[in-house]
Structure 1
């Protein structure tokens, strides 16, 4: 892939050297070739980024912008992303091994998130509340203000998309941003920050990127005394720790966490569509997505036919170089995750599941991280493989005989991020949609998201919502202002 690319932190509108000489490597999961190097950030580096972000928040250049001027900047960002979509897509694929065909689609659509939140800037309104204090002789209005400096920590599986879920509404609200990307995928964030400041016109210090490990870099950021809001996407375990740190600081935290989403197939479903949807839910992106449909519930009446066709389709999935547009499934992003996937497959068999297909590393592909699409049958809902998030191309097939049974099993999980329902009976579909404990429900489709519809989880899948107007509200705080109209102060010993 050429000469090693060396990067620095991006702070206050420019690349800045780290306090430390320690660095981390970025490799291409397809063949393990190292192609980039980034700093392992220190607490001091985080301090510098937060200070730059605070200064920007309080500056006239950013803090005094009218909503329409923020809207113009967000629209500029959308145009810059469109211009550099190809470059950003290739950078994403080189970091985490996701298919170039998927990343091109993501990057080509990414600008619409910023345009949407730009439109939100132009339509935000305060309100007057008709309070009845002092017999109606009080005037009350409510305004929304930016929370301030946001500290964001993002994962490796969809780096710029999941950053955008946070950054676009934060900018629309008038916040500034310090970002700690995953050490597996830091380069696209650095390049993104450079483009936003140099080509889109974002003022210096509004979006800062500090690279490094979860400790000390990430923990220093989310516990920093000058951070006003925390936004995180990642595992439930880490999310709990970040939530505790935010609680100690008494600042709000948005936490988009893990999932163990059910994909439910009824006998009247279009079977080919359902199998396509199940494959889309678990084998697309090599299963490395929080909303993966990793628990496949199939009605007893069609379970045998479904498994046969599902296995046939899994065997035909084309594994290979993610940069090849013909490849259908790339490698697992890194060796530790591959080993975790393999451990779960072995444990499932020890607990009584059957390895229907896959579960091996192909011998004809480079690197150490490829894993065949894997199907486990004879899975019970209480098995480890049906309860814990695997984050790999591993589908657990379970069977059911009634609506009540599948609702109970689907909800029998600590997670509640998403669910899929496959049926031609729309009354049944909406009955299930109302009963399933999940933040996103798809009917006869799977793994689709939109910038104007909220996304987030129930239970251990997180707190708060991203996208839509709900996503914008996460970065705003409310102020209520009362004004006396009577000219007289009310009884000082009486509230009202």
Structure 2
């Protein structure tokens, strides 16, 4: 695919931050590289601490305007942003593939997924309301009001550089909040393109800000400024804990979507072909670099060999390659350090008794970038690091277990609780096991759990709060109670 036209479009390809309706540079810059070939795509300005402060100040001023804007006007502007995102799907997908590496058709799917949150949230703007309440005082009336929380700092990851922004920004804007968005340094170009489209959509100055630069300088402003009232973050549990500690000084609200260690459970009555297809879809999406990616595939003993045979055929057919190659099923990992980490996990698993069925090695020499072979591992101990932490790579690791009780114990033996998958045709098992799994989302005979209309989020160390549906919008509101006395006096 020829990138020259899209990637050189000056109207879309931005390398400066967007603050208070203007494009702003900094004194330093950082490189954005294509992980498929290690070529530099752009040098992006680092606005530093001064830029972060300017963005927060602009957002505080923008909030004063946007919070008073009619919800119907907020709907109109959000729908205009949606229209522009959909119109530029190919451009945005090209940026995602270039800076993150996922296959172009998958990147287009991400744009559609992310656009769904804009559409849903746009219509939710006019559905934010309170309730009339019974009160004990004679002649009095009570009611609740939902109002926007204020300036929101959004810190987003590289694995879904468009959707993780729209999933936070759209509901916050629908609620009447203003934003300061910091994208990951690996993938700022998509975020800046979304800011360009937001500018064209007509958001008031200061309402929508995107800043790029060193997290060590930008982060303390985004979490510490008294003008910021909420922090929305998607990323690692380690960083989430740090942000939560920083937010504590100002008693700021947090919405955290953090790490996962998803079990994919295959019971002895499951449709094994459907389960193998489900693993292939869920595990290798974004090259395994998703927080809901199956990490531990737990299969009931009696069907384990038959399931592994089916899964081996699926994984053997997965082709790694440049995301702009139409024959590629998965792209590169985000950088060489990620490849080294995944390879170390695989080697440790083998030393711990696991068997490599397919793959098991980096592909840098063959493909010239940060690639790792689609891999299937059979066996090994649950005490191994590969079973205890996120793999974040194209490695499916299968474990065997005896019965429901043992499987639930193994599945829940983790500090994480984001997503889990269960394949069974027994409705009794569906209820028992879905209620017994300590996870925020359960996919039963379904390899995908997220949508714009449903709640997305986890329990335990996988986060706080929910994104999506009415719950996603309510996260960005404060509930206020009003008591009016003497109505009938």
* TM-score interval, smaller chain: over 0.9
SS of the equivalent of 2:143 reads strand
SS at match of 2:36: coil
Please give the residue correspondences for 1:4-153 in structure 2 after superposition, counting only pairs within 5 Å: 7-18=15-26, 20=27, 22-59=28-65, 62-133=66-137, 136-153=138-155
C-alpha distance in structure 2 between counterparts of 1:88 and 1:14, whole Å: 21
TM superposition shift of 1:356: 2.6
**Number of matched pairs:** 481
Question: Residue 389 in 1 paired to residue 395 in 2?
Answer: no
- For 1:414 and 1:375, locate their aligned partners in 2 and report how far apart those are by CA, in whole Å: 25
Corresponding residue SS for 1:94:
helix
Q: 1:233 maps to what in 2? A: 234
How much does 1:279 deviate? 1.1
Report the TM-score when normalising by structure 1: 0.94
Aligned to 1:492: none
**What's the secondary structure of 1:89's corresponding residue?**
helix
Q: Which among 154, 158, 161 is matched to residue 160 of structure 2?
A: 158
Residue 469 (structure 1) shift = 1.0
The residue number in structure 1 matching 2:451 is: 450
Q: Is residue 29–residue 367 contact of structure 1 (8 Å, CA) maintained in 2?
A: no
* More displaced stretch, 137-146 vs 347-356: 347-356
* Cα offset, 1:434, TM superposition: 0.8
Shift of residue 485, structure 1, vs aligned partner: 0.8
* Aligned-partner SS, 1:479: strand
Secondary structure, counterpart of 2:410 in structure 1: helix
Q: How does 1:290-329 map to 2 (within 5 A)?
A: 290-329=291-330
Matches of 1:259 and 1:194, distance apart in 2:
32
Task: Quote the residue 1:341 is aligned against.
Answer: 342
Structure 2: runs of 5+ lacking an equivalent: none
Match of 1:289 in 2: 290
Match of 2:246 in 1: 245
Distance of 1:6 and 1:486 partners within structure 2: 57
The unaligned stretches of length 5 or more in structure 1 are: 489-496
The one-character-per-residue Cα deviations of 1:433-477 (angstroms, maximum 9, x if unpaired) are: 111011111111112411110000111111111111111111000
> CA-atom RMSD, angstroms?
1.7
In 2, distance between residues paired with 1:172 and 1:463? 20
CA displacement 1:167-205 (0-9 Å, x = unmatched): 01100100000000000000111111111112x111111
Distance of 2:37 and 2:463 partners within structure 1: 34
Q: CA deviation at 1:309?
A: 2.2
Contact persistence 1:13–1:194 (CA under 8 A): no
TM-score calculated relative to the size of structure 2: 0.95
Runs of 4+ in 1 over 4 A off after TM superposition: 1-6
SS in 1 for 2:290: coil
State the distance in 2 between where 1:304 and 1:241 align: 43
C-alpha deviations, 1:277-308, integer Å up to 9, x for none? 11112122110000001100011111112222
Match of 1:471 in 2: 472
Q: Deviations over 1:314-335 (max 9, x none)?
A: 1221111211232111111111
